Amino acid sequence: MYYLSMKVAPPWKQDRARKVKQALAHFWVEAETGNGAAHKALDYLEQRQWKVLAIQEKPNVVSEHDDSHGCMGLTQSLRAKVYGLSLCLTDWVYEGFQ
């Protein structure tokens, strides 16, 4: 299993005062290689029309019970074991806010 993260921008149009500019996408992916994990994550985002702004952390091997990313890692790595991929979005950045 691999963990990787990317800065991403949402596809939806927003009329609200606080528009989302970006978020940090954390992925746990069942794959044979780091490249395979990256391709699965990128395909997932592309299918949902999210824009990748930057790679935050390149794919690295984690255990099936990933405790290196705290409670989020434990939960998401178990989901990835079942579904092949798990995503958690954090660190939302809104227009006009840092």
The domain in which residue 49 lies consists of: 2-94
Of all residues in the chain, the percent with pLDDT exceeding 90 is 58
pLDDT surpasses 80 at 13: no
**Per-residue confidence (pLDDT) for residue 16, from 0 to 100:** 60
User: Collapsing DSSP states into helix, strand and coil, what is residue 79?
Assistant: helix
pLDDT surpasses 70 at 27: yes
**Per-residue confidence (pLDDT) for residue 97, from 0 to 100:** 58
Mean pLDDT of the chain: 87
Closest CA to 3 of 34, 48, 42, 46: 34
**Per-residue confidence (pLDDT) for residue 73, from 0 to 100:** 74
Residue count of the chain, please give it.
98
| Span 37-61, pLDDT tens digits | 999 999 999 999 999 999 999 999 9
pLDDT surpasses 60 at 17: no
Say how many domains are in the chain: 1
